[in-house]
Structure 1
Amino acid sequence: MHLFFAKKGNKLLNVLLSLIFFSRFGQIVTIVLATSGQSNFLSVAFLAFTPLYYAAPACFYLYISCIIDDRTELKKLQWLHFIPALLAIIHVTPWPTATEIDWNSITRHLAAKGYFSLKVRSGLFPSSFHYILRPLLVLSYLTLAWFKLLRSKTAESKNPDQSQRFWILFFLRTATFFQTLSLVPAFLTMLHIPYTLTSFVIVNCLALLAIILYTLHKPNIFYGHLLVAVDWKKKPEPLIRLTEDTGKQHEIRYIEKEENEKPLSKPGKKVKIPANQLAEYSFSMKKLMEEAELYLLHDFQIIDLAAKLDIPVHHCSYIINNHIGKNFRDWINGYRVNYFLKQYPIKGDKITIEAIANESGFKSLATFYNAFKKEKGAMPSHYLNQEESRKLLNK
């Protein structure tokens, strides 16, 4: 639902991917209803989701293809891929002259042999429309997707957009595994080889658990794809990587080039603020920052602060530089670092440092490391280790 109605990102890709998940959801609901013997509800779910089952393989191929080709809309000929879905709509439509469907029999077959092994008539067309055409579509479009990837530059390791390549490979491999595994019972049935459906369910669950554990350690794999609110195409600012030797430990230190800020007031312009008003402005600025937590906003600028307080921008700049003793960037980053240190003991074992830094208002991990070093005089891991050691000694 998030993908289907998302306003950010590539709308075509969002819709194609959401249709794939809707289809998978429908398939799971259908099997659950079948195994629980709910033939009445099964008939509704089966008729509603069947067109999606026949559209999903095409959506899968078109999704991979449009990412690689960087397309935001389908070509006219690409709409022909949805002909099987149109046939499926005709198939499940309750025509007056159509043969009555035995939903009890369909329920028993689905519960016993799985989705792709259904050989009972389920609509206008013969049962082969389901147990032959559907697996054929899955295998054909999986093959086309891999062929499309291998022919493209995205498959090359030297491709500059590694996040896109990594997502495509992850998505394609995962889909290939689960789709192939779901087809195995159908092939075993054709070869008259005995099997238990429970064993395939267990393998599916274990594989899904492994994927969840993997993505918990690499949540950024979803940025711009499943989590489309993140602009994954935005290029990071230039970084310099230095190795900082801390004895037995080696830590990577990220130093980010400071943004060139335009002077807020003309050179030589004198700012005259009475002493009592200077103290009042300074107090108001600190109070607003602490109570409203404006530093958590990634794009918060000094002009926004001035607008909140209804004072001139150059007065804000003068107070921060001369009365507080920092420039605006260092001042706001100090609040962000302190917020990070409050959140880390609470969330450090649940989410990554990068995620907590992002919640604290930092746009990038590089900005966070640079600000933390400037504020605390040490890199985050070294500082946190020192704090932990100090707490243990005090105990």
Structure 2
Amino acid sequence: MFVLSKKKELYLVTYSLSIMTLSLFFASISCFFLLLFSLHLFCAKRGIRLLNYLLALLFFSKFGQVLIALLMYSDQKAIYPAIYQLFTPLSYIAPACFYLYTTNFIPGNQQLSKGQWLHFIPVVFAFAHLFSDVPINWTLIANQIAENGQLFSTERTGLFPAVFFILVKPGLVIIYLALTWYAVLKSKVLDKNAKHPGRNWLLLFLKGGTFFQLTGFLPLVFQNLNLNLNMNLPDRHASFLLLNSIAFLMIITYVLNHPRLFYGYLFVSVNLDMGQTDIGKEIRREVPTVTNTIKKVSLLPDQLINYSNAMKEVMETKKPYLLESFQIVDLAGALNIPVHHCSFVLNNLIGKNFRDWINEYRINSFLEQYPLKAQRMTIESIAHECGFKSVATFYNAFKKETGIMPTVYFSQKKVS
């Protein structure tokens, strides 16, 4: 029995050290990305600045929470009180920022209304809370945060009593989370038939934000399980920190692999220029559509004209070129004519192959959309919306149609 208990104790120690090491490692990486994106969004000159600032505040607040946990677990408690007090106001503004970002993102607002500024009242009280001569037991606060999470510290940390913050912090999270989802569901922007250009980003943002806010309550839930069921769950807070960090890094990895999300909403100031960065060598070029030109085609002049007009009508009315996967077989299917007839009309009457022809429509769409969306989206993200599968394809097509690069084209437009 003594040997078994020793083995069990050794196992628990090894498990605790493993969880702690992994938590510190992944939390450090998360801290880096959170700080990077928050600073980038604060300094970004493109996109809607209101949305950039709100998202930056959310990232910076989350950065503060992770940093506080890192300081506690790495025994850097000398600077812990100052960091905790610095990020306290942000913890009260984050739920409001989550709500304001969502409700202003849907209509694309560029500034807050007068009434929306009232959502920042809690942060005023949070700042006032810092100016107090009340003695603070930082060791006890650190122990409580390690045990219950940062939402449920029962020790006084400033001007107002601890019970005030025990009620306010979780209350703000729950209330603003409910208000956000109510506003989104009411707007029906997440419906499958909704045509909002930022639907995918909004869905990802809502799911991620909801997950991270609700996991803040898990330490308290598991503490109650310990008390009520007499369970032994070692290193709960370290495990939750590890869970949050891995989840955040998975979301970042997903966004990095979806250029429309990354360049359009997260890294909004990036402006790739083919003339400077030779993207064509780095990004795989699309394989052009191979059409069947071997078959002998016998079409009367009237048929050629009718086919040509029908093809143009489909492109102008239904705008299938906005779909990245649209091919000549899809066009032929929509018109109920053979593929080689479409190819023959394009090559002999219109004078272009299918890829150049469809890219012409996409470039014209881009030229219409860019002046309307340039303030809140990058050139690359607008190009993706117009049907281009890659940045390299877009720049090649633009230069082929206009003879110059997009930045030069629009700078000349401004001068004229």
**Structure-2-length-normalised TM-score:** 0.56
From 59, 68, 77, the equivalent of 2:115 is 77
Farther off after superposition, 110-119 or 6-15: 110-119
Q: CA deviation at 1:211?
A: 2.5
> What CA deviation, in whole Å up to 9, does each residue of 1:37-79 have, x standing for no partner?
3333111111111111101110110000001122111111111
Q: 1:142 to 1:218 in 2, by over 3 A?
A: same
Q: CA deviation at 1:128?
A: 1.9
Amino acid at match of 2:59: F
Match of 2:194 in 1: 159
> What CA deviation, in whole Å up to 9, does each residue of 1:97-148 have, x standing for no partner?
x321111221222233321231111111111233321111111111111111
Instruction: Name whichever structure is richer in helix by fraction.
Output: 2
Matches within 5 A, 1:74-153: 74-93=112-131, 95=132, 98-153=133-188
Cα pair 1:224 1:230 within 8 Å, conserved: no
From 221, 243, 267, the equivalent of 2:261 is 221
Where does the alignment leave 5 or more consecutive residues of structure 1 unmatched? 245-252, 261-298, 300-353, 372-395
Amino acid at match of 1:186: L
Q: 1:189 to 1:66 in 2, by over 3 A?
A: same
Q: CA deviation at 1:364?
A: 5.9
Cα pair 2:147 2:219 within 8 Å, conserved: no
Match of 2:97 in 1: 59
From 74, 77, 82, the equivalent of 1:36 is 74
Amino acid at match of 1:202: L
Q: 1:92 to 1:255 in 2, by over 3 A?
A: same
* Residue 84 of structure 2 is aligned to residue 50 of structure 1: no
Q: What value does the CA root-mean-square deviation take over the aligned residues?
A: 3.2
From 180, 195, 206, the equivalent of 1:172 is 206
Cα pair 1:238 1:257 within 8 Å, conserved: no
Q: 1:22 to 1:187 in 2, by over 3 A?
A: same
Cα pair 1:54 1:84 within 8 Å, conserved: yes
Q: 1:129 to 1:254 in 2, by over 3 A?
A: farther
Q: CA deviation at 1:259?
A: 4.9
Q: 1:155 to 1:12 in 2, by over 3 A?
A: same
Matches within 5 A, 1:177-326: 177-189=211-223, 192=227, 194=231, 195=233, 196-229=236-269, 241-243=327-329, 256-257=357-358, 259=360
Q: CA deviation at 1:91?
A: 0.8
Distance in structure 2 (CA, Å) of the matches to 1:258 and 1:131: 58
Higher relative contact order (CA 8 A, sep 6+): 2
Match of 2:60 in 1: 22
Cα pair 1:142 1:176 within 8 Å, conserved: yes
The count of corresponding residues between Structure 1 and Structure 2 is 261
Where does the alignment leave 5 or more consecutive residues of structure 2 unmatched? 1-38, 272-318, 331-353, 362-366, 368-387, 402-416
SS of 1:156's equivalent in the other structure is coil
Q: CA deviation at 1:209?
A: 4.2
SS of 2:265's equivalent in the other structure is coil
Amino acid at match of 1:41: I
Q: 1:27 to 1:209 in 2, by over 3 A?
A: closer
Match of 2:394 in 1: 363
**Structure-1-length-normalised TM-score:** 0.59
Distance in structure 2 (CA, Å) of the matches to 1:104 and 1:73: 42
Q: Percent identity?
A: 38
Cα pair 2:48 2:110 within 8 Å, conserved: yes
Instruction: Name whichever structure is richer in strand by fraction.
Output: 1
Cα pair 1:31 1:114 within 8 Å, conserved: no
